[in-house]
Amino acid sequence: MEPLSRELLTAIGNQSVLDQNPQSSNTSPDVGVATTVASSSKNYATMPIDKCHFLDTLPLELRLIVYEEVLLANTPLQGRVSRKDTKYGLSPSLLAVNQQIYQEAHQIFFGKNTFIITSIPEDENTLALTSASPSAKLHALGQFDPPLRPARWSSLRHLTIDLLYYPAKAPTQRPRFEPWNDAFKVKNEPAAAGYIGNIVSLLRVSGSHLQSFSLSACVNDHFCARSSLVSFCVCDRNKAFLTALAGVQVKKMPFRFDFAESYYHAELRSDYFVKKSILLLACQVMFCQSQVRIDRMLALFENGVLRVEDREKGKEKTDLTPYVERKAGRGLGLG
pLDDT, tens digit, for every residue of 159-216? Answer: 999 998 876 554 444 444 445 444 344 445 788 888 999 999 999 999 999 999 999 9
CB 209, CB 244: distance < 8 Å = no
Distance from C-alpha of 33 to C-alpha of 44, rounded to nearest angstrom: 7
User: What was the pLDDT predicted at 335?
Assistant: 47
Is 269 within 8 Å of 252 (Cβ atoms)?
A: yes
Please name every residue paired with 218 in a beta bridge, in sequence order, or none if there are none. Answer: 258
What is the predicted pLDDT for the residue at 315?
Answer: 67
Residue 286, Cβ neighbours under 10 Å: how many?
23
Rg (CA), the chain: 25
Closest C-alpha to 6, from 52, 46, 66: 66
CA angle 33, 43, 46 (to 5 degrees): 50
Tell me the C-alpha distance between 161 and 245, whole Å: 11
Q: What's the chain's length in residues?
A: 335
108 touches 64 (CB < 8 A):
yes
Instruction: Identify the segments of the chain with pLDDT beneath 50.
Output: 3-4, 6, 14-45, 47, 170-178, 180-187, 330-331, 333, 335
Q: How far is CA 256 from CA 161, 210, 248, in A?
A: 10, 18, 17
In terms of DSSP bridges, do strands 114-119 and 144-145 run parallel, antiparallel, or are they unpaired? antiparallel
